[in-house]
Amino acid sequence: MILVTRQGITEEELDHIRERVESLGLRTHVSRGETLTVVGCIGDEERLQHVPLLSIPGVVAAHPVMKPYKLASREFAADPTRIPLGEVEVGGRGVVVVAGPCSVEGGDMLRETAARVRAAGAHGIRGGAFKPRSSPYSFQGMGQPGLELLVDVRDTHGLPVVTEVMDTRQVELVAGYADVLQIGTRNMQNFNLLTEVGRVQRPVLLKRGMSATIKDLLMSAEYIMQQGNSQVILCERGIRTFETATRNTFDLAAIPVLKRETHLPVIADPSHAGGRRDLVAPLAFAAIAAGADGLLVEVHPDPEAAWSDGDQSLDFAEFERLMGQLAPFAEAAGRKVAPL
């Protein structure tokens, strides 16, 4: 149940509302917006069925939440959630771009990539130190030395680090280096991992499972939030369908659907969605025009030599061109690319 309170509600009235609800065995969560304050009630909604909620002083409306995700639902927060990323925010008016290699392969390539994506206007650096690979014989990532390299370029270029955590046993380690913990598509329903990242106060970039519905994605966000970490960024990265012309099928509609369903920021990964470098720009444009709050883009100094995902990685010139072309799409969506 979501209780909407009157404008100018007093702290005493809010306390009283919370006490009433909590005395019935539910938990409460207060969200204060610019004009509105709402009280979310978490727990068995049945218990509120016969309570005259509108008679509690300060309550002006009561909306039952039938959706299985509550903390993530749009109604639960008075305003869209904004998540700080270095100098900018994901979920604000500015469209944010995080770019970098699929995997951290070494110091030189990472430093070069960081310098070039920063100069082109990127707001964060991505790169996997722990890589979820379909084959156990493929490069599995550099591990901790890769994390150290990422922190190094963050310090040099002021680029916050987005990197994947694959295992509950690595959460503490990765959280010691990363600014944003990425949960990959293969782990979207690793509920133990979701619970663990929910316990650390680090933003989480939650990628949609390749066979997950939008509801599944939101339920996974709920797992993280339920542990007390409400800083979740959702990422549409393509899903598996019968189509074989692209690596995945980019679910463009998921972006406006998610923006309607949740207050959490939504970004798009056009690299994994299309699986081909020539598709990155058109998918990025479409995502921004559809309301995405940002992009996650794979960039490599020499895609041909990349140890993973070279086919979908942009080289520096392609990334610079992409950045130079984003503005009209952001404008079409009533946004702008976040200035550095």
Binding site for ligand PEP (CB under 6 A): 102, 128, 132, 184-185, 207, 237, 272
Rounded to a whole number of angstroms, the minimum distance from the CB of residue 308 to ligand PEP is: 7
Torsion-angle region of 334 (φ positive above 0: left; ψ -120 to 50: alpha; else: beta): left
- The residue among 54 and 305 lying less far from ligand PEP, judged by its C-beta, is 305
Partner from ligand PEP, Mn ion, none binding residue 147, C-beta < 5-8 Å depending on class: none
Contact 125, 145 (CB under 8 A): no
Q: Tokens 């709050």 appear where? A: 293
**Cα(278)–Cα(329) distance, rounded to whole angstroms?**
18
**Cα(89)–Cα(96) distance, rounded to whole angstroms?**
8
Partner from ligand PEP, Mn ion, none binding residue 293, C-beta < 5-8 Å depending on class: none
- The residue among 28 and 312 lying less far from ligand PEP, judged by its C-beta, is 312
- The residue among 154 and 272 lying less far from ligand PEP, judged by its C-beta, is 272
Q: What amino acid occupies position 114?
A: A
Select the residue whose beta carbon is closest to Mn ion and give its number.
Answer: 102
Partner from ligand PEP, Mn ion, none binding residue 184, C-beta < 5-8 Å depending on class: ligand PEP
- The residue among 73 and 313 lying less far from ligand PEP, judged by its C-beta, is 313
Rounded to a whole number of angstroms, the minimum distance from the CB of residue 110 to ligand PEP is: 14
Sheet order of strands, 37-42 included: 27-32, 37-42, 2-5, 59-63
Rounded to a whole number of angstroms, the minimum distance from the CB of residue 224 to ligand PEP is: 16
Site size toward Mn ion (CB under 5 A) is 2
164: contact with Mn ion by CB under 5 A:
no
Rounded to a whole number of angstroms, the minimum distance from the CB of residue 89 to ligand PEP is: 21
Positions in 59-78 near Mn ion (CB under 5 A): none
Report CA Rg, the chain.
21
Rounded to a whole number of angstroms, the minimum distance from the CB of residue 69 to ligand PEP is: 21
- The residue among 75 and 298 lying less far from ligand PEP, judged by its C-beta, is 298
**Whole-angstrom distance between the N-terminal and C-terminal Cα of the chain?**
40
DSSP for 4-46, please give it: EE-TT--HHHHHHHHHHHHTTT-EEEEEE-SS-EEEEEES-GG
Rounded to a whole number of angstroms, the minimum distance from the CB of residue 174 to Mn ion is: 17
Partner from Mn ion, ligand PEP, none binding residue 207, C-beta < 5-8 Å depending on class: ligand PEP
Select the residue whose beta carbon is closest to ligand PEP and give its number.
Answer: 184
DSSP for 90-120, please give it: ETSSEEEEEEE-SB---HHHHHHHHHHHHHH
Partner from Mn ion, ligand PEP, none binding residue 326, C-beta < 5-8 Å depending on class: none
Q: CA distances (Å), 128 to each of 103, 110, 183, 264, 317, in order? A: 4, 11, 11, 24, 22
Partner from ligand PEP, Mn ion, none binding residue 185, C-beta < 5-8 Å depending on class: ligand PEP
Q: Tokens 């009280």 appear where? A: 39
Rounded to a whole number of angstroms, the minimum distance from the CB of residue 163 to ligand PEP is: 9
Contact 286, 322 (CB under 8 A): no
Positions in 308-327 near Mn ion (CB under 5 A): 309
- The residue among 9 and 212 lying less far from ligand PEP, judged by its C-beta, is 212
Report the 10 Å Cβ neighbour count for 51: 14
- The residue among 190 and 312 lying less far from Mn ion, judged by its C-beta, is 312
Positions in 93-122 near Mn ion (CB under 5 A): 102
Q: What SS3 class is residue 163? A: strand
Q: Smallest Cα–Cα separation from 255: which of 247, 246, 267, 263? A: 267
Contact set with Mn ion (CB under 5 A): 102, 309
